[in-house]
Structure 1
Amino acid sequence: MSSDDLRKRLETVEAALARLRGQDAGLGADYGSMPQDFGDSGQDLQMREELEGQIADLEAERDRIKAKLGREGSPDKADRSRH
């Protein structure tokens, strides 16, 4: 993958993270305003755990992409400082 491809993927991952974090923040926002039964609570918990898992996966991918971009950028910086 080229640096441009990695940067595009990084933008996509960060946008997905922002969207998922927004969903995660909104989950349970109405908790307490309406009576819930154990089934509803269980579904909310399961959905929150799934979102947290997706967020963790995307954060790991983001970190890998950033590390790869950092490694690709390092030789260029070193070469430029020599000239």
Structure 2
Amino acid sequence: MSLREARLNCRMELKEVSEKTGIPVRTLERWEIDSGKARRDSVEKLLILYGFISWNHIYFGPESELVARRQAALINNQELA
């Protein structure tokens, strides 16, 4: 799951996350595009806010890469069926 998906899953707006974590909205926007650039201490704040107890549920890297991997997996599954 991407950081954007985690935030949306909690039904939170960027401004609300910013207010609760002290992380500027612009920074959150950049990290949602590429979470690989996020600082570890800040990610921990986000994971706590989003209710995650493990880093294993969040994809770290460009969100576009995650989407491409999902699409490839769907295509592979369709070809196997």
TM over 0.5: no
TM-score normalised per structure 2: 0.37
Give the helix-richer structure, 1 or 2: 1
Bigger-Rg structure (1/2): 1
Larger RCO: 1 or 2 (CA < 8 Å, sep 6+): 1
- TM-score by length of structure 1 reads 0.37
